[in-house]
Structure 1
Amino acid sequence: MSDIADRYLAVWNETDPARRRALIADTFTEDASYTDPLGAVRGHDGIDTFIAGAQAQFPGLVFTLPAEPDAHHNLARFQWHLGAPDAPEPLVIGFDVVVVTDGRISAVGGFLDKVPA
């Protein structure tokens, strides 16, 4: 399941709209849902719009995995960091749980552990 987490973060890190959209199609089912404390969206259009908004809010920051995902059956959970590429500490820390269906993400439940004041 580390591959799915890597693909998921690649989507969040892709700033070119056309490439991001192609990654979304490869990574998420067409009716995938994404829910976190800041919003809830469904489908490729909703996910793309949500990610573009986050990128506009945090320009130049990148998502990284601080550890390997924990997974069983069709579920995976992993923590992620968002920060400047050269920063010693992440600006935001979150935790996501994903449901995988036929090799693509069909649902994401996101949690924010550390956010800027």
Structure 2
Amino acid sequence: MAGSPADLMRVNLLMVFNEPDPDRRAAVIAENYAEDVVWHEPDRIIHGRTELERRAAELRAENPDWVFRPAGAASGLDDIGHLGFEYGPADSQPSRVRGMDIARTKDGAVIELYTIVTEIRQPS
């Protein structure tokens, strides 16, 4: 499944953070992330695949009916990938969070991931 930086960004958003099944999510992480991946969130830094799996599960548990949606197309340049996202209720309500993921990749795997939140909207 590993591929270009743009492909990895789509995998990251849709097959990891939207995946409800922990075994499928773990398999995708094992195939597409370096063992020592580092993920920079706005309020913490996660080290390694195991911690990335744990944090992804936490996010799913916090808002089980929410989904991530791409905001535009994934892009890549050399070893860097980028994808904007929206996050919110799966139904037709507007997304509550907007942001972007940027990743450094090597040999078809994410080695470092940065999540930047650009907007948080309160429910109306």
Distance (Å, rounded) in 2 between the aligned partners of 1:28 and 1:95? 18
With structure 1 as the length reference, what TM-score do the two structures score? 0.91
| TM-score between the two structures when normalised by the length of structure 2 | 0.86
Percentage of identical aligned residues: 24
Alignment of 1:2-13 (within 5 A): 2-9=6-13, 10-13=15-18
Residues 41-77 of structure 1 deviation map (CA, whole Å, 9 limit, x = unaligned): 1111110111111111111111111211232110012
Q: How many angstroms does 1:16 deviate by?
A: 1.1
- Where does the alignment leave 5 or more consecutive residues of structure 2 unmatched? none
- Greater relative contact order: 1 or 2 (C-alpha under 8 angstroms, separation 6 or more)? 2
Alignment of 1:26-45 (within 5 A): 26-45=31-50
- SS of the residue corresponding to residue 17 of structure 2 reads helix
1:39, distance to aligned residue in structure 2 (A): 1.6
Q: CA RMSD in A?
A: 1.4
Corresponding residue pairs, total: 117
Amino acid at match of 2:94: E
